[in-house]
Amino acid sequence: MRRGRLPLTALRSFEAAGRRLSFKAAADELLVSQSAISRQVRELEERTGKPLFERHHRSVTLTAEGQRLLDTVTAAFDAITQTFVEISEPQQSRNVFVSAEAAFSANWLGPRLPEFNRLHPDIDIFLDSDNQLVDMRSHPADLAIRYGRNEDTWSDGHKRHLANVIMIPVISPALLKKVSPLSAPADLLQFPLIHEDSRDTWMAWFQAAGVAVTPPLKGHLFSDHTLVLQNAVRGSGVALADIILARDDIESGRLTCPFDLTLPFGNYWLVARNFEKLSPSARKFAAWLETTLPDFNTPTPAS
């Protein structure tokens, strides 16, 4: 087949569907209808004379021929995208687009951007707060910072470990003064418990502390760690806090750690399309992040 007759639109639809293993996700990514993706894929299958996907009731998987084509097309599109970025608007190479989860942006990264600016005054950061998982091939960000409970969320070569997530109990000093001094972890049960997403985290901490508790634990449930910290500072109860995100509140005295027993709770990851092809500005930001962040997850001594 001559190059001029390559079905580029269909290949683009196939690549998105094969990478996401979903016609719907591909349609959302390319801002077209799901039927358009299906039609483009069928066109390729008719032209190759072979099925590229195996259709199941609610999912699709690639055939051997489909996987072979996907590997080639994805590599080609990645190379085209990288070259296009390198030759277009080079004056913007000093800008770094960073996508980070909202709580991480608000409690750690945002407050420390002035420190990065002092070291690199010629680099501007565009910080986008987003809690969704990112596919770096379709996302405009240069780098993404995400929390994960395991290492399987992103393929090897596209992620780097930033820091362990460690949870520790925190409480407002004003609330703590209302009771007699705490002597054992079980004493925390006299306070309202503040939960994030699930009550299972407090259950795991009490289990590690050797405290027998009967589920379900009571207490308000919040979907964001910033809300957890804000309610703890206000004296609404005792919370399990990410040491990194709570560090400023602890060092300022707004929160205190009644016990130093910690609970490992996953990791922060730095994600990129290709670390080897980052712009010089993005490399500097990644290096600063990788050297600065781990220093903040050392447990703070109990007060």
Give the model confidence (pLDDT) of 216-244 as tens digits: 899 999 999 999 999 999 999 999 999 99
3-state SS class at 86 = helix
Which band of pLDDT confidence, cut at 50, 70 and 90, is reported for residue 57? confident
Could you tell me if 277 and 286 are in contact, meaning their C-beta atoms sit under 8 angstroms apart?
A: no
Question: Which CATH number applies to 166-265: 3.40.50.2300, 3.40.190.10, 3.40.1190.20, 2.120.10.30?
Answer: 3.40.190.10
CB-facing half-sphere around the CA of 85: CA atoms within 13 A? 18
CB neighbourhood size of 89 (10 A): 8
pTM of the full structure: 0.72
Which band of pLDDT confidence, cut at 50, 70 and 90, is reported for residue 180? confident
Average pLDDT over residues 272-297: 87
Whose tokens are 């997403």? That residue is 197
Instruction: Evaluate whether 90-163+269-297 and 166-265 have a shared fold.
Output: yes
Q: What is the reported pLDDT for 216?
A: 83
Class of the CATH-defined domain 3-87: mainly alpha
3-state SS class at 75 = helix
Question: Domain residue spans in the chain?
Answer: 3-87, 90-163+269-297, 166-265
- Say yes or no: domain 90-163+269-297 is CATH 3.40.190.10: yes
Highest mean pLDDT among 13-22, 183-192, 293-302: 183-192
